[in-house]
Amino acid sequence: MNIVEKFDMLGIDNAPGQESLQKSQKLDLRGEKIPGAFVDFSHGDVDAHLPTPGSFEVFSRGYFEGGAQAYTPYRGRKTVLEHVAEKLSAFNGAKIDPAQNLILTPGTQGALFLAMGANVMPGDKVAIVEPDYFANRKMVEFFGGVLCPIQMNWHTSGKSGIDLAALEAAFKDGVKLFLFSNPNNPTGCVYSYDEICTIAALAKKYNATLIVDELYSRQVYTGVNYTHLAAQKEIPDNLITIIGPSKTESLSGFRLGAAFGTAEIIERMEKLQAIMALRCPGYNQAVFFTWFAEPAGWMEARVAEHQRIRDDIMKVLNAAEGVTARPTDGGSYLFVEIPELEVSLHQFIRIVRELAGVIVTPGTEFGPQFLHQFRINFSQDHDKAVDAMKRLLAVMDRYRKA
């Protein structure tokens, strides 16, 4: 067994020289390629749906009017901050002071980096959820924090299934920061009201900081109730919420993000942004004026279309023996569990790309124990997405263990 096979078996992504070795490693390809449109489920296809109406016109007008717009204050242009604060306050019920509690960032990824950089010092214990957005784990490692994973039973309907007892134990053990996404990425679970209130109360009790990624909070499906932590009566002293228009509104190319919360943390984030990127892209900030200002019914139609894609992919998954996934409560993700195969997860993912023209994200990106799961982002063309899942499962059947 060579080093690539050993790391594949363990589900480890960062083996020494793994990428170059894998390229030369011969795959166990069984059967012919299945024809169909190439589909990359590893991220949303922002071209599959039109972005927020008027966004390009607003950008163009802001660009050509120009002036000093490119060199805005570090937190963002005053008029844009005021607009975003007003819209976000109305959306989530939390009072946001645009001068004290808000910063515009280069995408929500930029907001996450700033929030982590403003809070995490080497040796600090940081809790994350498993599974959750893979950058959370990588951020903790980058800033020298001590990773404290909290498990989540995402199969529990009506809530995320987070182990709240384990979270409290982590706080007692010295965890200074808890970072999580709601809806969860990759499972699409939405945290229940009771879960959110308990998390807020625990953080307050143990004087811990919370960073809540609410990127997909505008895309919640029929029958699901969403709870904004920042709007609750009892919240911790240190709280940052991250959100932006990149996903649901298909504006990722403009690199627009926002973070709001505790004034002292926002100030530290501003200082870090001044060093790292100076500001959210100046000309692009005008596009924030289209956020929460879409034509009547536009957002509802987009969410309904995503729900239709989710439902039809779930029909395909439910018909496959040994394949399971919890229907997404919000966002555009499904965390698919597959049966034992005669190849490793990482080999299977490479095989599927070769034989079916489909790319998915391995479950090990969200925790080393997820050796039989992969994530898809179904923000795609409906027919191509459904057909791609059928092709993937057809290839999978060739590798089932007897």
Q: Which of 327, 379, 391 is nearest to 353 (CA)?
A: 391
Q: What is the pLDDT of residue 68?
A: 53
Bridging pattern class, strands 209-213 and 333-337: unpaired
Q: Are 368 and 346 in contact (CB under 8 A)?
A: no
Task: Say which CATH architecture domain 70-290 belongs to.
Answer: 3-Layer(aba) Sandwich (3.40)
Going from the C-alpha of 201 to that of each of 167, 226, 238, the distances in angstroms are: 12, 18, 12
Domain boundaries, the chain: 3-49+297-397, 70-290
**274, 247 Cβ separation under 8 angstroms:** no
pLDDT of residue 65: 64
Query: Rounded CA gap, 277 and 120, in Å?
Result: 19
What is the model's pLDDT at position 45?
62
User: Could you tell me the pTM of the whole model?
Assistant: 0.90
User: Is the bond into 295 cis (omega within 30 degrees of 0)?
Assistant: no
Sign of CA dihedral 191, 192, 196, 198: negative
Q: Please list the alpha-helical segments (H only) found in 101-245.
A: 107-117, 134-142, 164-172, 193-205
pLDDT 10s digit of each residue in the chain, 402 long? 443 444 444 444 444 444 444 454 689 999 999 999 999 999 876 555 568 877 877 877 776 665 556 788 889 999 999 999 999 999 999 999 999 999 999 999 999 999 999 999 999 999 999 999 999 999 999 999 999 999 999 998 899 999 999 999 999 999 999 999 999 999 999 999 999 999 999 999 999 999 999 999 999 999 999 999 999 999 999 999 999 998 888 888 888 999 999 999 999 999 999 998 888 888 888 889 989 999 999 999 999 999 999 999 999 999 999 999 999 999 999 999 999 999 999 999 999 999 999 999 999 999 999 999 999 999 989 999 999 999 999 999 999 998
Return the SS3 of 109.
Answer: helix
Measuring CA to CA, how many Å separate 390 from each of 42, 108, 381? 17, 33, 14
What would be the CATH architecture of the domain defined by 3-49+297-397? Alpha-Beta Complex (3.90)
pLDDT of residue 283: 81
- C-alpha atoms less than 13 angstroms from C-alpha of 267 in its C-beta half-sphere: 5
Q: Cα(137)–Cα(126) distance, rounded to whole angstroms? A: 9
Helices 298-318 and 382-397 pack at an angle, to 10 degrees, of 20
Q: Is there a shared CATH topology between the 3-49+297-397 domain and the 70-290 domain? A: no
Report residue 71 as tokens.
């060199």
DSSP string across 154-170? TTSTTS--B-HHHHHHH
Q: Which of 180, 161, 160 is nearest to 116 (CA)?
A: 180
Q: Say how many Å lie between the first and final Cα of the chain, rounded.
A: 22
Question: Residue 178 has what pLDDT?
Answer: 98
